[in-house]
Structure 1
Amino acid sequence: MKNIRQALVQCLEASGGSGIPLPTATPSSSVVNQLLDTGALDEESFLSQLAVRLGLGYVSVPLPDSADAPEMKRLLPPRVALKHRLLPLKIEEEEGGARKLIIAAYDPFDLIGRQAVSREVDAPVRWQIAPRKRLLNAMRDFYGVGADTFEEILKGRDVDGSDLEQRDEANIIDADDEEASVVKFVNTVIREALEQQATDIHVEPMEDKLRMRYRIDGRLREVPVPENIKQLQQSVIARLKVMAKLDIAERRLPQDGRISLQIAGQLIDVRVATIPSVEGESISLRLLGQEKFNLDKLRMETDLRGEIEVLLKKPNGIILVTGPTGSGKSTTLYTFLSQLNTEHRRIVTIEDPVENKLPGVVQIAVRPEIELTFATGLRSILRGDPNVVMVGEMRDLETAEIAIRAALTGHLVFSTLHTNNAIGGIMRLVDMGVEPFLVATSVRAFIAQRLVRLLCNVCREPEPDAEMKIRELKYTGPIRTQVYRAKEGGCEACRHTGYKGRMSIYELVRLTPAMGELITHKASSAQLMQQAYKDGYRPMREYGVRKVLDGNTTIEEVISVTVAESEQ
């Protein structure tokens, strides 16, 4: 033990961590784990030094040999590998025909793990050390999410899985231990999605596999899953339907439900939607955390934020947020409501569905099956003495007319529309059947928005053609700062995408008296746009370029979510 601690101290000194005190191992955490958890240590330098002192090989990027994958999974099953954080790398042929399994670990002093390998692996083993984070990611990719639980389930079955598709779904989970394992597997999938900061999980039956995908930063990514998971397709789907209180026997019709979870002290609301397909039911889960909202999180430009704050102080009128599905409109509206939420205001919302719960706000969910629609709900809300009203979406003329009546009778109303830009919101209301003079007198502003991905601060790199690309976007302002682009292949911090997180970019059109006059006289979009510029309008693309100049995102991201003025 003394030699081990001495080796650890030497490794700390050699890797620049001489000031870090050496902890004592506990039943729940080893010394190596605790040292890596400090975050003050250069992990690669420390572990490579440790490998040298212990006479072990060090592998910086642990990648299992795909040719040996089936045999390595047999030799080192997932229940052992995932429990003890071990990754098989390859099988080496030795003299005399003997075969040796090369295993990577980040903690060479994990005696329990080594003992488990001695019991389970029927082959000689050679150990190597690898960086913890890379090893854990590679282990997940190699075995698939929830692979240890999947193995437990299959061990309890006496079937090869070929008959599972024909069995009645209600009878698939037919034993307590198997049911518990399916529950654990599903929980693992949801927990990992949250850790990956995913917004959606898609469980999609294919002809020969069960595909799982997470939507992270607006992009879908396929999740590595255990081999032969198709055998448990019906069990996994049945479990999700049970959690969402859906009819597990009904597989012909779409169903919608909700799941409330608490994971690591965090309340998570999950919206569940099933769709029948020829290969079985596809299930989509929308993960909704109970986040706190404030204007700082929207990261608006200073001038735009100032205009928004002025609008929020108005006692009445309609403020409409426009954009496609998934552009962050709900987050913006919740932020506005949180800004207005005081003991002196009564705020009532009607939503489809309620995505986040706001303390102190009366929130109503649309239920068309009992004729509780946006229009009927809004009528009732107005009889309840509200100061501020939020309508999830203006879908029809009836809802729009009631909202306008509310604004004209002293209420501040928020809602959303699906249009490409802020000016398009005006035309959308008129096309819906709203009289132009009512639009002009009731609406305060249209705010259009899109989401762009944020650059990874760890691996972003300078953009060599910055000025040329920015000038192509018709930006005429000064370029005094370094512009960045996403690094191809990214890094571990951004899951090798070059981006981490998202932010909104906006454009705002205020309905000034001059703009109202044009709307009343049914002016064209071009005339309205011309007046908007006179009133201080700045297009979304310009705000996007500002975020590029701030180092937040890339030129390509801005181009991908905005259109040039000539294309509007």
Structure 2
Amino acid sequence: MVKLIEIMLDEGLITKEAISTLVKSRPPKKISFANLVAENMIDLHTVEIFLAKKIRQGVITLEHLEKIEGIDITPILEEIAKQLHVEYIDLDSIEIDMKLFSQVPYKQLLKYNVIPVEESDLNVLVVFDDPLDMAAHDAVQRLFPKKPIKIAISKPSQIRKHLHRLEINESIKSLIMEIRQDLSKEGSTDEEDSENPAVLKLIDIILKSAIFIGASDIHVEATEKSCIVRERVDGMLRQSFTFDKDIFSPLSSRMKLLSNLDIAERRKPQDGRFSATISKKEF
């Protein structure tokens, strides 16, 4: 932070008088971008352009950018993406293709802080926390040898959050494989699929996760690409698990059976309830 302020002084973007005014104010104000903007000593757009430029020059990283207090970094990321001719993606507003994610080793994604988002006929869209890391580009490209990767950027904190969530999915891969093996059996019915012990274990994990964070309700949703589990905490829905879409049917069927609902009815809404013992407590 201090280094960046010194660079702005050297480049004439702010003056020593402005810094002195902040220090001599009563009470003294912290020398920060937020205070410089708030005191009209520099305009916000100039700060955004400056920070985008320093990231492009490799002086700071997106990780450093998130540590700057009082600045909304979204416009800066959009400016960086524009300058680098890449795409900026808000990971909280899109759906990650879980089939694509499952094709590559999780450790490699964690090592380079990247997330493959979607695959088109032409390329594979991959979000990086460092768009200038050529070694990471080459390593990720080797993970997708059949198509070129298309680079995008996102907030590093979002990448970490989604990698952590996907790590939970990684830890229950064996359960998913068991469920999928039963799904592949010829002539299996929804009821038979839902009787798979792995489905019960998966429901148990979902319930434990929701109870641990104090969720008020759980939503299991089938989307175009995935089966998504969301938990409501303090009135806000947050995504907790993402599975391949084929997991939705046995998961929902088993929950219907537990709740004494008609598993064949898929159009009309139904009401039901069931109890479960989690960590020796009845819910």
| TM-score normalised over the length of structure 1 | 0.27
Larger Rg: 1
Which protein is richer in helix relative to its size?
A: 2
Pick 1 or 2: higher relative contact order, CA cutoff 8 A, min separation 6.
Answer: 2
